[in-house]
Structures are given as C-alpha cells and as structure tokens.
Amino acid sequence: AARGPKQTLRADGYQFEQGLLTGVQPVVQGGRRMGTLYLESDLGEIHEHFQLFVTIGALIMLVCCVAAYLISRRLQELISRPILALATTAQRVSEHRDYSVRATRPQGYEFGILTDAFNHMLTRIEGDQTKLRSQLGRLDLLHRITRATGERHDLPSVFRVVLHHLGDDLPLDFACMCVHETSAAALSIAVIDPRSAALAAGLGLAESGQVPIDQNGLARCVAGELVYEPDTREIKFPFPQRFAQAGVHALVVAPLLVESRVFGVLVAARREVDSFSSTDCEFLRQLSEHVALAAHQAQLYGELQRAYDDLRQSQQAILQQERLRALGEMASGIAHDINNAISPAALYTESLLEREPGLSERARSCLTTIQTAIEDVAETVSRMREFYRPRETEMVLSRVACNRVLEQVINLTRARWSDLPQQRGVVIQLRAELAEELPQIMGAEVELRDALTNLIFNAVDAMPDGGTLTLRTRLVSSGSRDDVDAARQVHVEVADTGIGMDEETRRRCLEPFYTTKGERGTGLGLAMVYGMVQRHSAELDIDSAVGRGTTVRLSFAAADAPTMPLAAGTLLQPAVRRLRVLLVDDDPMLIKSLRDILEQDGHVVTVAEGGQQGIDSFAAALMHGTPFSIVITDLGMPYVDGRKVAASVKVASAHTPVILLTGWGKRLLAENDIPAHVDRVLSKPPRLGELRAALARLVPPPDPAEALVESA
C-alpha cells in the first residue's frame, strides 16, 4: 500500500494478477467520490503458510487414519466375533436341523442380550419341533390303528388291534375295552390288553366281567365325557380305588361315542401320578372317536353279514321251492298217463287176491308184492309234486311197523342189490339188524317204504365194486330206562361201505337235481327222502367220509301203545245193489279191466270210449226208459272232457251221481279243486274198496219193493 500504483487503476473490485492480490475501492463522502483506495498483497507468504497448514493437516489426517484403522481392527474383533458365532450357529441349525445347539454368550451387554434372544428362539423352536414330532407320531399311530381296525370286521378283533398298537407306541400300564348297552347299569369288559393281564388279575378284572356304572363314578363317561383322574387315591369310588391299591394312580376313561350314543369305553392307566398330559388325553379322545367308528362299522358289517346270510338262505330256499314246484308241475303232467298204465294191473291184482282163494302161497306173495309196488308207484307219482311241501294238518297218519316195512323193501329191491350186481360179478352182502319189540311210529307207510327204497338204491350205487349194505332199526330213549316220560325215538338206518361223500357233496346232497351220478341220476332221491322226513316231523342225519361209506339215519317219534286194531279182512264192504253203470274213458285197457271188475260184482256196465259218446249213451238210455244208476268218467279226454260229461249228465238227470276217476285225483282233492257237477273224485289206479264204498254211498240200497221189481 505504501508504493504507488505502477499502472493505471483498474475498475473497482479484487483480482489476482501475477502472484498478487489487488483491490480497488472508491472512497466516497457525502455522496461524492473523494478518491480511490488501492490495495495490493503478495500471495507468496500466504502460499507458504497455506502449505504449512496443509502439511500439518495431512499429518493430522494420516495420524487419524492410522488410529482409526487400529481402532476399527480392534472393534471388528469385538463386534464380528459374536456375530460370526451367531451366523455359524444359524448355519448349523439350517443345514442339520439341529435345534439343540446354542450360541456362546459374549461378555458384552448388547451382544449378550442378542445371543440370549437367539438361544431362546432356538429353545422355542426345539420345543415346537418336539411337540410337532410327537403330534406326527400320534397321527401316525392313529393312522396305523385306523388302517388296522378297518381290516377287521368283528368287534373283539377291532378292540385287540387297538390295544396292541397302544401298548407299542403309547406306554400304558393297563388298558382294556368295555362295551355298554343302552339300558344296562354296568360296563362289560370286552378285551384286556394281554400285557396288562397280570395287573388285571390283581385288580380283579377279567374279560366278560361287569363294572357297575353309578357305583364307580362312571356316569360322566357313559354320558359322553372323557374322564381323567390324575390321582386315583383321591377318588373314593370302588373302581378307581382298585387302581390306587394296585399302585396305578393316573386313570383315563374315554367314551366310544357314535351317533350320540356311548356303546363302549377305553380305559387307560399309568402308575405315575398325573402322568397323562393334555396331549395324551386329547389323543385318547381322538382315538376313541376313530375306534368308535371302526367298532360301529364292525357291528354294521356283522349285521349286514347276518342279513346277507339270511337273504342267501332265503334265496336258496326259494330256489329250492321253485325247482321242486317245477318238478311237481312236470310230475302232474305225466301222472295221468302213468296212473292209466298201472290201473289195469292194480285192478286185476287186487281182484285175483280177493276172488282166487286157491292161489299158492308163493303166487299170493308175488301178487301182494306186485300190488305193493303198484301202490308205491301211484303214491310216488302223486307225491312228486307235493314232496317239497310240509305235511298238511289233514294228512292222515297210521301206525307203521318199521321192521315190516324194511322187510318189504328188502324184497322189493332184491333185484337191485342182489341180481343186477351179480350179473357184473359184484357181490353186495345185505345185513338186517332189526330191533326186537320195536314200537310203531305214526306215518305214511307208502312214503316210508319209498324213502327206504331210494336210500337202498343210493347205497348200491355207492358200492360199484361190492360191499356190505346194512339195514338197522333201534329204539333210542332220551332219558334213563326207568324214566317213563323219557322221549323215545325209532331210528331207521341205511349204511353202506361204499365210496362215501366229501363235505361239499354231503352239504348239497339234499338239494333237488343235485347228483354225482351223471346221466344215470336225477338228483331227486334224497330230496324226496328229505321231503318225507319234513312231512313226518322227523329228523335226517347223514354221516359220511370219503372211502369210509355213508350212513343215513331217519329218526321218528315212537307212537304210544296201540289200541287193538281190527284184524285184516274184518272190515265189511257195504252192500251194493245191482247197478247200471256208464263207464266213460278213452283208455281201452282201463275200460276193459274196470268193466271186468264191475261185472264180477254183478253190475251191468256200458262203456263209452270218449266224452261225446258217453253223453250220447246217457241220453239214449234216458230216452228208452233204462237210465243209468251212476256214471264213472275220466277227466282228461280229447274234445269232450270229464267236466263236460258231468255237466251234461246233471242237465239231463240231476239226481244221477257222477264219479270222476282220474290220474289227477289226489291233486284235485289236495287243492280242493273238485269240478262242478261231480259227486265224488277217485284217483287212479282205483282201489276196489274205495270204488265199492263210493258206489254204496252215492247209490243207496233199494227199498223192498224196488228190490222185488229188480229181481223180477
């Protein structure tokens, strides 16, 4: 400032020039510029001082950086070590799912709090994991129990499998299952875990035992509430006290509840006091619900199985009835022809036995056998349609001597068990073991004889290589010999030493149409025997084994002591006057045989081979004043059947009796299907006694005046 300006002053302001700082400022006073202030400063010194200050600052900054570095390294060790420890622990937990590890707590306050919080989090996670594993284990146990119970279809097996799995996965000192009926006052112990058997014996509990409900404080459980007693010593009811005395202190009783009804309970116990957690109780509650459903399903399955068995038996019975009904209809269709065919033989045989006293004993015996066989054929044909039906109340039973019937059957079947096998070189030995003083039975002799014939035929067929056929009768009493009220039964047995039957064949042998003989068999023999047994309220037993033969046993109730019967031949036939008989039938053989028999009795017989011819003959006789006393007509005839004949006779002469003689007679009588205008129905083959009785009943004997006119 002391030096004058070396150059012209510049404009006002400050500026740097050549290492100098110059400044020009006007001097103003009173609004008038008085002069100019010029300043000039050398920057060299300033640069020197500035450089000094920069150097000092740089040194200070360098020292600060070094100090900061040293301090940061120290702080890094103090801060990163616990953080790295937490990171390492977290990585281990993440990789190995090991929640049991813990981070080491550092000395610092803040990091100690952080580490404690981290370790507490691990503890909580570990506890949750333990609970989760426990719940998964319980769910797995529940799943296995549910699957196992689903494979069982009866209540005891369901209970046993539940207790078995509980004992394996949920330690229990005692476990049992009880059932409860709605109206019962006690629980019934159904199943006890075998591992609890010793303790159960000490408790005085056994399967099928009873536990009163009200007396033991079990009413809450029966009402559907789960009951947990942590200490049985504090419960004063007898049932919990049993456990307390046996050293079992924790008790759970879970109801088996289905559709709001408790039908059973699960009893679980442990020795330690309060050893069932809330999780255990909840699991037992859930388990009881699943067990209740499984047990209910088992009950429903049992009921369904029983219903199915009943339905199957009903279907089998219906099928059997339909088969037998078809057989009956088929037999009904052929009965007429068979009865027509055997009628002449029956009439002539009976007539010979009655009117030929000079017959030899052998001839009379042969005729008697023929007559018996004919009667059996007639009865068989008429019964084929009816053998599936139970015996009707109006069926007339008579006293039958089983020994005599067996002797007749032996003679009737001799050709089958003796002659025919011998032609093949086969020998069948027959043994008759007939009990002495065997009481009679009440039955139909023809049916019994027919049944025994079938049994003998079956026995012979079962011995193709020969053997022994045994016919046996015996008296069996259900009580002691001195007991007069003891039930007595007459057993009739047919035994063979043949091939025998396996269980399947023995079970099905009574089914109609079931046969093991191929084309040689019809499958009806044993079915007809079974029908006879049913009609007689008797019993049929079959003992058989493959290779050991077969024994068929018929058991009949013994009849009471008989009253004195009339001797054979003492029944007198009612007297029949000489009649004019119109005989209408389309079978020439039957017409001839019946005409011969009636003419031998003194009647005048006119025959008509057809319904229309019969009607014409009856009308012609009325026209000539020689009416017929009675008309005997067949039912099944071409064009004009017996019904039309009877109707025409009644129209022409209402008082003339009409007898319908038909092969369907027994069926008509059994079904009460007697045609209109018919006074009496007789079955073919006709029996002389029945025919004469019908004539006597329908045509009354003449008064003396009429008899005198007839004799004249």
Q: Could you tell me the strand order of the sheet in which 20-29 lies?
A: 13-17, 20-29, 32-42
Q: Of the given ranges (52-56, 310-314, 494-498, 550-554), which has the lowest mean pLDDT?
A: 310-314
Q: Is the pLDDT of residue 545 over 90?
A: no
Most confident of 121-130, 295-304, 468-477, 570-579: 468-477
Let me know how long the chain is.
Answer: 712
The tokens of 265 are what? 């309970």
**What per-residue confidence (pLDDT) applies to 2?**
45
pLDDT at 59: 92
DSSP string for residues in 531-565: HHHHHTT-EEEEEEETTTEEEEEEEEEBPPPPP-P
Residue 317: alpha-carbon gap to chain centroid: 15
| Amino acid at position 330, single letter | M
Domain with CATH 3.30.450.40 in the chain: 153-294
Residues of the chain with CATH 3.40.50.2300: 580-711
Q: Please tell me the predicted confidence (pLDDT) of residue 293.
A: 75
Condensed to tens digits (0 to 9), the pLDDT of residues 42-95 reads: 777 778 888 889 999 999 999 999 988 888 887 777 677 777 777 777 777 777
Helix (H, G, I), strand (E, B) or coil at 28: strand
Residue 648: pLDDT above 90? Answer: yes
What is the rounded CA–CA span in Å between residue 511 and residue 239? 57
User: Each residue of 208-250: pLDDT tens digit?
Assistant: 888 888 777 788 888 888 888 899 888 888 888 889 988 998 9
Positions of E strands within 279-434: 398-400, 428-433
Cβ 43 vs Cβ 18: under 8 Å: no
In order of 512, 647, 678, 681, the CA distances from 657 in angstroms are 42, 11, 8, 11
Tell me the pLDDT tens digit for each residue of 308-349.
888 888 887 788 777 766 766 666 667 667 777 787 887 788
pLDDT of residue 128: 72
Domain 580-711, architecture per CATH: 3-Layer(aba) Sandwich (3.40)
| Dihedral of alpha carbons 275, 280, 282, 286, sign | negative
Question: Quick one: pLDDT band at residue 594, thresholds 50, 70, 90?
Answer: confident
- Bridge-based pairing of strands 580-584 and 604-608 is parallel
Q: Is the peptide bond before 702 cis (omega within 30 degrees of 0)?
A: no
CA–CA separation, 271 and 243 (whole Å): 9
Query: pLDDT (tens digit, 9 = 90+) per residue, 651-675?
Result: 999 999 999 988 777 777 767 778 8
User: Tokens in use for 589?
Assistant: 């053989």
- Cβ(279)–Cβ(287) under 8 Å? no
CB 441, CB 559: distance < 8 Å: yes
Minimal CA–CA distance to 152: which of 163, 137, 167? 163
Is residue 447 a contact partner of residue 389, using CB atoms and an 8 Å limit?
A: no
Question: What is the distance between the alpha carbons of residues 669 and 127, in angstroms, rounded to a whole number?
Answer: 92
Mean pLDDT along residues 608-634: 92
pLDDT tens across 434-445, in order?
998 899 999 888
Ranking 80-89, 671-680, 703-712 by mean pLDDT, the lowest is: 703-712
> Which superfamily, per CATH, for 390-557?
Histidine kinase-like ATPase, C-terminal domain (3.30.565.10)
Contact yes or no for 234/185 (Cβ under 8 A): no
Given this model, what pLDDT does residue 107 score? Answer: 66
Residue with the bigger pLDDT between 219 and 700: it is 219
Residue 632 has what pLDDT? Answer: 93
Helix residue ranges per DSSP H, 601-703: 611-623, 642-652, 665-670, 688-698
| Residue ranges of the chain that CATH labels 3.30.565.10 | 390-557
Query: Which pTM value belongs to this model?
Result: 0.41
- Element (H or E) spanning 52, and its range? helix 43-96
β-pair partners for 545:
549
Query: 153-294 falls under which CATH superfamily?
Result: GAF domain (3.30.450.40)
Cα separation, 431 vs 445, whole angstroms? 22
- Pairing outcome for strands 658-662 and 680-683: parallel
Residue whose token pair is 């002691």:
480
